[in-house]
Amino acid sequence: MSQAPIRRSVLVGTGAALPRRAVPNDEMAKMVDTSDEWIVARTGIRNRYIAGPDETTSSLATAAARQAIEAAKLNPTDIDLIVLATATPDQTFPATATIVQHELGCHGGIAFDVAAVCSGFLYALGVADSMLRSGMARRALVIGSETFSRILDWEDRTTCVLFGDGAGAIVLEARESTDPDAPGILASKLHADGAHNQLLYVDGGPSTTGTVGKLRMTGKEVFRHAVTNLADVLREVLDQTGLTSADIDWVVPHQANQRILDATARKLNLPAEKVVVTIDRHANTSAASVPLALDTAVRDGRIKPGQLVMLEAMGGGFTWGASLIRI
Ligand code: COA
């Protein structure tokens, strides 16, 4: 008896966009009491990109989306689903995804935002994958885009040195195959625990203060939770697929802190060479960091067809998650 075909969401293109202005650590040291040495030693960050007044979450997202569609050899009108992860939307409503949809010229499909802060891209990926596998859509743009510079307290050295702006995008296409090794998203796991709101949050919002607010963080506590939660969720995804960390070709983690990347890799016995690192160049770009890092490693030829790639992230909420993809 022949095997029933499995429907999977296949990665067919990636793209990225960064603001024009690069801000190295030395420039940060002119704004707050900090130094290149401190930032590099504690975080691995050397540089970040900061959006100018004409660069918005939607404009960065649109540029990244165009690249991803081009890499997939598709037209914008082929896209029938846009899921955009952001904590810094252009407007309180409508969803930034609808602005991107209009800019791309692909009207009539589904478009909405997902809010899970730094895990936003993993959440958006999970939602898009479910919708593609259920048949609600055929080709999805999944975007992470942020202008965190707009919600930073530029007088708080404990947070403003850590973040940057940018966008990353991927195109997923639903394909059916009877081959168990066919490409596509193999497994995903998402979590949230709202008990930790006060460790990482923005002190404003339309229904509370009526202002946008600024990011507040207790860094040490976030660090501790991140290492534990990420190692746990990576193990969960591996268990779900019957694979081990030795089977993984690349880990593309959320880029929050080099020490979190190192500690998580150590917990899972993953050699550092398998971890894609862009934190030095981009800093923490929240929902954009995973697709920015993924695009970097696809375009420089490290990530190749047939390989197994693990994406993972943890962020405010807390929220966290991981997804295993065969390219
Ligand atoms: N420059 C210089 N000194 C700084 C500084 C800066 N930018 N920021 C903080 N300091 C100082 C502190 O005031 C403190 O000084 P003190 O000892 O005199 O009080 C000292 O450096 C150590 O601060 P601490 O907060 O204990 O450092 P840390 O080793 O925990 O590193 C973070 C701070 C924020 C880099 C680290 O906790 C972290 O990365 N946490 C996770 C953050 C994260 O991932 N957030 C996003 C999740 S999505």
pLDDT band at 268 (very low <50, low <70, confident <90, very high): confident
> Which tokens sit at 263?
């500690």
CB of 7 sitting under 6 A from ligand 1: no
47, 254, 257, 282: the active-site residue: 254
In contact, 84 and 97? CB cutoff 8 Å: yes
Confidence (pLDDT) at 3: 78
pLDDT at 303 over 90: yes
Q: From the CA of 160, give the closest atom in ligand 1.
A: 7
Confidence (pLDDT) at 134: 97
47, 118, 160, 257: the active-site residue: 118
Q: Exposure pattern of 285-320 as b/e (b: 16+ CB <10 Å)?
A: bbbbbbbbbbbbbbeeeebeeeebbbbbbbbbbbbb
pLDDT at 1 over 60: no
pLDDT band at 91 (very low <50, low <70, confident <90, very high): very high
pLDDT at 170 over 70: yes
Confidence (pLDDT) at 2: 64
Tell me the DSSP string of 259-303: HHHHHHHHHTT--GGGB---HHHH-B-GGGHHHHHHHHHHHTT-S
Taking CA atoms only, the protein residue closest to ligand 1 atom 7 is: 157
What integer is the mean pLDDT of 303-321? 97
24 preceded by a cis bond (ω within 30 of 0)? no
